[in-house]
Structure 1
Amino acid sequence: MSESLNPEQLRSLTPLNRLSEQQWRELRGQLVPQPLLAGQSLFRRGDHARLTYYLLSGELLLRDAEGREERLVAGSEASCHPLAPSLPRLQEALALTEVSVLALDSATLARLVTWRSAYQDLLLELGQEGEDVEWLERLLENPLFAKVPPGNVRTMFRRLRRLELLAGHTVLREGEAGDCCYFLKSGRAEVIRGVDSQHQVLAELEVGACFGEEALLSDRPRNATVTLLEEGVVLQLDRQDFFALLKAPVVDEVSLGEAARLLDRGAQWLDVRFLDEYQRGHAREALNMPLHLLRLKARLLDPARLYLCYCDSGKRSASAVFLLSQLGFKAYVLRDGVDGLPAVQRDGLLCETGSGYLARSGGRVERSS
């Protein structure tokens, strides 16, 4: 089978056919067909691997402990469902011909399906209450909500304050204290850093975007100005409601030991401190992306890779994880930052000094000069 998977075939697979576009994007790093030659084994009886398999092409033989056999042909109704989903596996699977299979992380798939089912009920409920369901669907496709319980989202909607604003209105200004965040319900907005001829356009926000949350998470002044490019509606969420309903479920934390295990599986350290802080000492092979540049530089990161963010106190790195989650990346924050580590562990983590590592397009990492 070619490396390019057939979207129609993928959408015939159960329960993948229930996922949203955003959830498909979250899975894209796993959507790689795996070939088997005739006679090769896909899995054996008693297998405990937490993977969900689908047959994409060819023929497989499933055989249980009593010798009962089932021949599975790609494209059949049976092939649209996971292969031997129970753990430990009750059957072995052998390739009768050259085959291609799809293997997905079962925990990730279960989380996406559960989330989708839960939010379908919420959308129905809010639609019956007169909410704009189309806008709600666009908002909930934001990765920000991937780990937020539906009950929290329901409460959040009831606490939002609606603001109808004209084109050119400045919703928040760089340098000001942050006491709330916003969601863009209609119109477009521009994110700018700097003033006059020195200003830099960081992003253009579309309907469903959240902005202003970085100042809340980092407990620092606003790091950019957001201005409406056209007449629009924004919804305001106060600081206390943001922390109670969104921040806690969204920002995942890991201990240093948990981070080490994730690094062994291919995760990448991301140091979100300023360059001079980074150069005084950073984690081995850590990328440096200061928080204030992260939105601009995130396009260089690999969407299929897991990032482990750290800073001194944990506040900047929590803001970085929140932002990366919005942009569709998977990231964890080092709990309490490097200052929360015992001295020996802190020195062991920040073991490299001087110039470090740079991210290049496509997620490549290079040693800086």
Structure 2
Amino acid sequence: MSHPLSPEQLRSLTPLNVLSELQWRELRPQLVPQLLLAGQRLFALGEQTALTYYLLSGELLLRDGQGAELVLQAGSPESCHPLSPTLPRLHEAVALSDISVLALDSATFNRLLTWRLSYQDLLLELQDTGEDVEWLEALLANPLFNKVPPGNVRSMFQRMQSLSVQADQRIISQGELGDCCYFLKSGRAEVMRDEGSAQQVLAELEVGACFGEEALLADRPRNASVTMLEDGVVLRLDRDDFLALLKAPVVHEVSLGEGARLLGEGAQWLDVRQQEEYERAHALQALNMPLHLLRLKARLLDPQRTYLCYCDSGKRSASAVFLLSELGFSAYALRDGVDALPAVQRDGLLCETGSGYLARSGGRTERSG
């Protein structure tokens, strides 16, 4: 078998059947059954591989550490649950016949399951009011909502204003003051920035995207314009509601001491100031990625690493943390920025000639002296 399982097949597997079809689509590359021949071992006693297994066909032997054996037949009630889910494994699993199994990355599966269970009541409640639940799932699949309590999300939907918009309509304009942010409910939009006499296309937004939030986080004028590419609907959230319901749970701040502890665990400083500011003085081994380029250059970051963002006042770094959270990164902001540090700590953090890294075009970084 080389094709992903169908929804009908997935609905018999617990708790995989709790997930929505949208979430199944995210798992689609992993939903292809794997074949084992009779006598092959699926996993060993004590193994710690972070995979969740389901038996789809054939017979499987489970043997625990005391030698007790259990034969599982595909299609039985027991086979509809994960096989020996505890890590390290409490059983050895050996195929008694040719079998097929489903193997899912446990971290991804548990993330989707936790999300679904956390938001299930909210989705059902909104569905009862006639809301498009698939759109809501697309919005809430944004990684930043992993940090937002469901109660905040419910309040956010209650306070949003729905606006019908047309193709070529400009939603926000570069240079204007920001008093709200938007979520794209339907349609597509384009983000553009004026660069002198030229215009640079920064991104194309699809359903579920949040935009206009950077001006609220940094308390600065809009740094780009957003124009609809086709007719659609946007939801408007006022500044105060955004700061209370979204920024507060998403943007995590740390002291310099807490930052030092995270550095010891493998984190890296991320300087989100302009390159000219960075070159005057920066933290040792810091990577410079100016805030206005962060969305474009975030692909240069290591998704397995934690980033400690800093700037002068803390406002740009708060924007950076919010953006990185949207993209699925782990990030913290230095509380109130380097200007709030005592002189001795500031001088200890920033050095004029310390080595660091610059994010360059073409998908590369280079050392700075």
2:310 is matched with 311
Query: What letter corresponds to residue 275 of structure 2 in structure 1?
Result: L
Q: How does 1:210-221 map to 2 (within 5 A)?
A: 210-221=210-221
CA distance in 1, matches of 2:341, 2:198: 39
2:149 is matched with 149
1:125 is matched with 125
Is this contact kept in 1: 2:45–2:88, CA < 8 A? no
Q: What CA RMSD, in Å, does the superposition of the two structures yield over aligned residues?
A: 4.5
CA distance in 1, matches of 2:282, 2:23: 33
Measured after TM superposition, the shift of residue 300 of structure 1 is 3.6
1:332 is matched with 331
Is this contact kept in 1: 2:314–2:333, CA < 8 A? yes
2:66 is matched with 66
2:262 is matched with 259
Measured after TM superposition, the shift of residue 51 of structure 1 is 4.6
**CA separation of 1:174 and 1:83: change in aligned 2, threshold 3 A:** same
Residue identity over aligned pairs, in percent, reads 57
CA distance in 1, matches of 2:194, 2:3: 45
Query: Given the alignment of the two structures, is residue 245 of structure 1 paired with residue 248 of structure 2, yes or no?
Result: no
Measured after TM superposition, the shift of residue 316 of structure 1 is 1.7
Q: How does 1:74-223 map to 2 (within 5 A)?
A: 81-86=81-86, 91-93=90-92, 104=105, 109-194=109-194, 197-223=197-223
Q: Deviations over 1:305-363 (max 9, x none)?
A: 23413113432222112112223x222114416526666665565466366243787x8
Measured after TM superposition, the shift of residue 182 of structure 1 is 0.6
**CA separation of 1:161 and 1:55: change in aligned 2, threshold 3 A:** closer
1:291 is matched with 291
TM-score, normalised by the number of residues in structure 2: 0.74
Is this contact kept in 1: 2:283–2:349, CA < 8 A? yes
1:227 is matched with 227
CA distance in 2, matches of 1:306, 1:19: 30
Q: Deviations over 1:24-78 (max 9, x none)?
A: 869999xxx9xxxx8998453xx9x795553799998754453313467999986
Is this contact kept in 2: 1:279–1:353, CA < 8 A? no
Is this contact kept in 2: 1:279–1:354, CA < 8 A? no
**CA separation of 1:102 and 1:341: change in aligned 2, threshold 3 A:** farther
Q: Secondary structure at the match of 1:199?
A: strand
Q: How does 1:346-365 map to 2 (within 5 A)?
A: 349-350=349-350, 353=354, 356-358=357-359
CA distance in 2, matches of 1:71, 1:359: 57
CA distance in 1, matches of 2:359, 2:62: 48
Measured after TM superposition, the shift of residue 185 of structure 1 is 1.9
The worse-fitting range, judged by mean Cα deviation, of 201-210 and 308-317 is 308-317
Measured after TM superposition, the shift of residue 292 of structure 1 is 0.5
Is this contact kept in 1: 2:55–2:83, CA < 8 A? no
Q: Tell me the matched-pair count.
A: 351
TM-score, normalised by the number of residues in structure 1: 0.74
The worse-fitting range, judged by mean Cα deviation, of 308-317 and 147-156 is 308-317
CA distance in 2, matches of 1:337, 1:159: 29
The worse-fitting range, judged by mean Cα deviation, of 237-246 and 146-155 is 146-155
CA distance in 2, matches of 1:137, 1:244: 22
Is this contact kept in 1: 2:287–2:356, CA < 8 A? no
Measured after TM superposition, the shift of residue 197 of structure 1 is 3.2
Measured after TM superposition, the shift of residue 189 of structure 1 is 1.6
Is this contact kept in 1: 2:284–2:354, CA < 8 A? no
CA distance in 2, matches of 1:269, 1:101: 40
CA distance in 2, matches of 1:243, 1:359: 32
Query: Given the alignment of the two structures, is residue 54 of structure 1 paired with residue 53 of structure 2, yes or no?
Result: yes
Q: Deviations over 1:195-252 (max 9, x none)?
A: 5732211011122211011111122221111122233322110111111211122234
CA distance in 2, matches of 1:343, 1:167: 52
Q: Deviations over 1:67-119 (max 9, x none)?
A: 31346799998677444334776x2547799xx9968566x754431211232
Unaligned ranges ≥5, structure 2: 35-39
Q: Secondary structure at the match of 2:163?
A: strand
Is this contact kept in 2: 1:59–1:73, CA < 8 A? yes
1:275 is matched with 275
Is this contact kept in 2: 1:314–1:333, CA < 8 A? no
Structure of higher CA gyration radius: 2
Query: What letter corresponds to residue 171 of structure 2 in structure 1?
Result: V
CA distance in 2, matches of 1:85, 1:344: 52
Query: What letter corresponds to residue 263 of structure 2 in structure 1?
Result: A
Query: What letter corresponds to residue 235 of structure 1 in structure 2?
Result: L
Q: Secondary structure at the match of 1:296?
A: helix
Q: How does 1:19-34 map to 2 (within 5 A)?
A: none
